[in-house]
Amino acid sequence: MICKITKKKIRPFMSFGKMPIANGFLHKKDFKKEFFFKMEVGFSKDISLFQLNDHPKPKLMFNKNYPFFTSSSNYMIKHFEDYSKWIKEKYFNNVKNIIEIGSNDGTFLKNFKSKRINILGIEPSKNVATIAKKNKINTINKFFSLKTANTLKKFINKTDIICAANAICHIPDLTDLIKGIDKLLSKKGIFIFEEPYLGSMYKKTSYDQIYDEHIFMFSVSSVKKIFELYNFDLIDVKAQKTHGGSMRYVIARKGEYKIKNIVTNSLKNEKKANIDKLKGCLDFKKKCEISKKKLRNKIFSIKKKNKTIAGYAATSKSTTILNYCGIDNRHIDFICDTTKDKVGKFTPKTHIPIVNIKYFRKNLPDYTFLFAWNHKEEIYKKEKKILKKTNWIAHVEI
Please report, as ranges, the residues that interact with ligand TYD according to CB under 6 A: 68, 72-73, 313-317, 337-339, 342, 372, 374-375, 378-379, 382
Sequence-ordered list of residues with C-beta below 8 angstroms from that of 222, at least 6 positions apart, any chain: 47, 48, 49, 50, 198, 216, 276
User: In what helix (H) or strand (E) does residue 149 lie, and over which residues does it extend?
Assistant: helix 146-151
Backbone angles phi, psi at 243, to 5 degrees: 50, 35
Distances (CA, A) of 349 to 10, 29, 31, 37: 29, 13, 8, 12
- Quote the least distance from Cβ 25 to ligand TYD, whole Å: 9
Beta carbon nearer to ligand TYD, 66 or 232: 66
- At residue 30, φ and ψ (nearest 5 deg) are -100, 5
| CA distances for 371 relative to 116, 266, 316, 318, angstroms | 42, 30, 9, 6
Helix or strand run (H / E) with residue 173? none
Among residues 72 and 308, whose Cβ is nearest to ligand TYD? 72
Specify the residue, 260 or 382, whose C-beta has the smaller distance to ligand TYD: 382
Tell me how far, at minimum, the Cβ of 157 lies from ligand TYD, in Å.
34
Q: Are 4 and 173 in contact (CB under 8 A)?
A: yes
What is the CA angle 35-37-38, rounded to 5? 160
CA–CA separation, 281 vs 221, rounded Å? 14
In whole angstroms, the minimum distance from the beta carbon of 230 to ligand TYD comes to: 28
Instruction: State whether residue 359 is helix, strand or coil.
Output: helix
Residue 397, exposed/middle/buried by CB under 10 A (0-12, 13-18, 19+)?
exposed
User: Residue 157, exposed/middle/buried by CB under 10 A (0-12, 13-18, 19+)?
Assistant: exposed
Which single residue brings its beta carbon nearest to ligand TYD? Answer: 315
Least distance to ligand TYD from the beta carbon of 50, Å?
Answer: 18
Using the minimum distance from each CB to ligand TYD, give the nearer residue, 203 or 376.
376
Instruction: Look up residue 20 and give its DSSP letter.
Output: E
Least distance between ligand TYD and beta carbon 20 (Å)? 14
Q: Shortest Cβ distance from residue 63 to ligand TYD (Å)? A: 16
Instruction: Check: CB of residue 210 under 8 Å from CB of residue 54.
Output: no
If the CB atoms of residues 135 and 356 are measured against ligand TYD, the closer one turns out to be 356
If the CB atoms of residues 6 and 72 are measured against ligand TYD, the closer one turns out to be 72
By C-beta, is 328 or 341 nearer to ligand TYD? 341
For 340, residues 6+ apart whose C-beta sits below 8 A from its C-beta are: none
Nearer to ligand TYD, 253 or 375 (CB): 375
Q: Which is nearer to ligand TYD, 142 or 381 (CB)?
A: 381
Cβ neighbors of 162 (< 8 A, separation 6 or more) are 98, 99, 100, 101, 181, 184, 185, 189, 190, 191, 192
Cβ closer to ligand TYD: 224 or 342? 342
Query: What's the min distance (Å) between Cβ of 209 and ligand TYD?
Result: 8
Shortest distance in whole angstroms from residue 315 CB to ligand TYD: 3
Closest distance of CB 88 from ligand TYD, Å: 25
We find the least distance from the C-beta atom of residue 342 to ligand TYD, in angstroms, to be 6
